[in-house]
Amino acid sequence: MAEEKVHPKKERTLVIIKPDGVQRTLIGEIIKRYERVGLKMIALKMMIPTEEMAVKHYYEVGGDAWLEEVGRKAAASYEKKGMKSPFATFKDNGIAIMNANAKYLSSGPVIAMIWEGNQAVALVRKITGGTEPLSSDMGTIRGDFTLDTYQMADVDQRSIRNLIHASGLVEEAEKEIPIWFNEGEILSYRLIQDEILYDVNLDGILE
């Protein structure tokens, strides 16, 4: 059976303003950056996640492959700075990161949101910046508003505090969204600006 084709303008991504983002009073600043590029917010809630939810979010979605990948990314960052990762294997590092993330995400209120639009996943990642704030580009949220590093997080055996979670791939978003939202909490509506971003004929402007 042919797969049902979803229009590119309907791509969705999950964004969570993590507890440090809320504590730094950056909610408005962060929302503004996704809003002004043309993305549409279709769900929003404030909540305090449980540790179980956080583990589900990272491990059930990514599995062992995610554990390896975060470990590999951290080791590569150490190497780039001419240093060596303190962890014996990528997976050991991944497990430590997952446990630390569970504590981090459940430490206070977060804002969970779904954003929709053409290339929503890639666009949100571009605006958000790379995992490690120190090496995130200036102009990105993580690069502009915070200063954490792999090294400092490891010294203190905690997660990198980088203000935001954003889905990395469309498939990741599809698995993550149901962990945070029921179907009934996700809204379907038209924004006036959709006309100019997506309307094929632009035939509604002139009187």
Site residues, Mg ion (CB under 5 A) = 168
Cα separation, 198 vs 32, in Å, equals 21
* From the list Mg ion, ligand ADP, none, partner contacted by residue 162 (C-beta under 5 to 8 A by kind): ligand ADP
Tokens 């002139």 identify what position?
Answer: 206
* Residue 162 binds ligand ADP, judged by CB under 6 A: yes
SS3 assignment, position 24: coil
* Residue 143 binds ligand ADP, judged by CB under 6 A: no
Burial of 78 (0-12, 13-18, 19+ CB in 10 A): middle
Stretch that binds ligand ADP, among 2-10, 30-38, 39-47, 66-74 (CB under 6 A): 66-74
- For 175-197, give the DSSP string: HHHHHH--GGGS-----TTHHHH
* Residue 165 binds ligand ADP, judged by CB under 6 A: yes
Asked whether 137 and 130 are in contact (CB, 8 A), the reply is yes
Among positions 13, 101, 140, 151, the unique one binding ligand ADP when judged by CB under 6 A: 101
Stretch that binds ligand ADP, among 3-11, 96-104, 182-190, 193-201 (CB under 6 A): 96-104
Stretch that binds ligand ADP, among 4-12, 36-44, 93-101, 186-194 (CB under 6 A): 93-101
List phi, psi (to 5°) of 120.
-55, -40
57 is catalytic: no
Nearest alpha carbon to residue 16 among 88, 110, 137, 129: 110
* From the list ligand ADP, Mg ion, none, partner contacted by residue 136 (C-beta under 5 to 8 A by kind): none
Q: Which residues bind ligand ADP (CB under 6 A)?
A: 70, 73-74, 97, 100-101, 131, 150, 153, 159-160, 162, 165, 168
Would you please indicate which residues are annotated as catalytic (active-site) residues? 165
